[in-house]
Chain A
Amino acid sequence: MDVNETRKGAVMVVTLGGRLDSFQAEGVKQKLLDLGAVEKRILVDCAGLEYISSAGLGVFLLMLKTMKKKDGEFCLCGLNERIREVFEISGLHKVFTLYKSQEEALAAAPQG
């Protein structure tokens, strides 16, 4: 599982690569929670993500709740077709702000 962070203006972009399963989810959760403690806006780019299970969805939900609580933002982009379907089955496509690409997400983010 690859997790990389890059700052793009006011947004912290976290790029995930590989497989977000029950075992990997714990490490990703810690990493995102650490970032969430200091960042206001987080965008997770899932373009390199090949697989996700409910454990991964749980991490994203926890982050969304955590960031909303402090008036921050947590968005996702680049979901492949199969991962998008898992979001749809779970009804989570209506809960998260999902962008097609990092470019689209960053263009939509308020500047500053």
Chain B
Amino acid sequence: MVQRGRKVRASIRIKNRLEEIERLHLFWNGFADRTGLAPEIRFKVELALEEAVANIVRYGFADDLGHEIAVGLELHGGTVHIRVEDDGRPFNPLKAPPVDVEQLLEQRPIGGLGIYLMRSVMDGARYRRIAGRNVLSLTKAVDRKE
């Protein structure tokens, strides 16, 4: 059962290393357990969360230094809100070139699907550059039958 009427919040800071994705999944699953999200919602938001963060870890930083990516979750009014913030170079994932999902194998690039999947499984997405930081907000209604 999704808890109604009150806000549930959680946040985590992820280092810009791929092994941190495991910690992100644990964090998400803890939140999903606590709020009793339906399995389909759980899977889709988890996918979007990974794609958003993995993309930043892989391509977000021009240097080789350690950086932190701040991830905030909030369940409120039947919607999961995700906020992902990083101090990497300005990058608006919502302006990424569209993926042609009808392409045949020969033309298919190996990468590039992540952002497309992230957008496809979520209901809303918004990007802002605030005080030298990329801020990506994603939303997903949790009550609707998928």
Contact = CB atoms under 8 A, between A and B. Distances in A.
Interface of A: 19, 21-23, 26, 51, 53-55, 57-58, 61-62, 64-65, 68, 82, 86, 89-91, 94-95
B96 interface: no
A64 B106 CA distance: 10
Contacts of B116: 89-90
A53 B22 contact: no
Interface footprint category on B = 20 to 34
B114 A68 contact: no
A94 B104 CA distance: 8
Given A23-B19, A51-B25, A90-B117, 10 more contacts: A21-B50, A22-B58, A53-B47, A53-B114, A55-B114, A57-B113, A65-B108, A82-B39, A82-B40, A91-B101
Given A57-B113, A65-B105, A21 B21 contact: yes
Given A53-B117, A57-B113, A95 B104 contact: yes
B54 A68 contact: no
B102 A91 contact: yes
Nearest to A25: B18
Nearest to B104: A95
B108 A22 contact: no
Nearest to B146: A85
Nearest to A91: B101
A68 B102 contact: no
A66 to B, nearest CB: 11
Contact of A19 (B18, B25, B51): B25
A81 to B, nearest CB: 9
B31 to A, nearest CB: 16
26 contacts: A19-B25, A22-B21, A22-B54, A22-B57, A23-B19, A23-B22, A26-B18, A51-B25, A51-B46, A51-B47, A54-B51, A54-B114, A54-B117, A55-B54, A61-B105, A61-B108, A61-B110, A62-B110, A65-B110, A86-B47, A89-B117, A89-B120, A90-B99, A91-B101, A91-B102, A95-B105
A65 B120 CA distance: 25
Nearest to B103: A91
Nearest to B100: A91
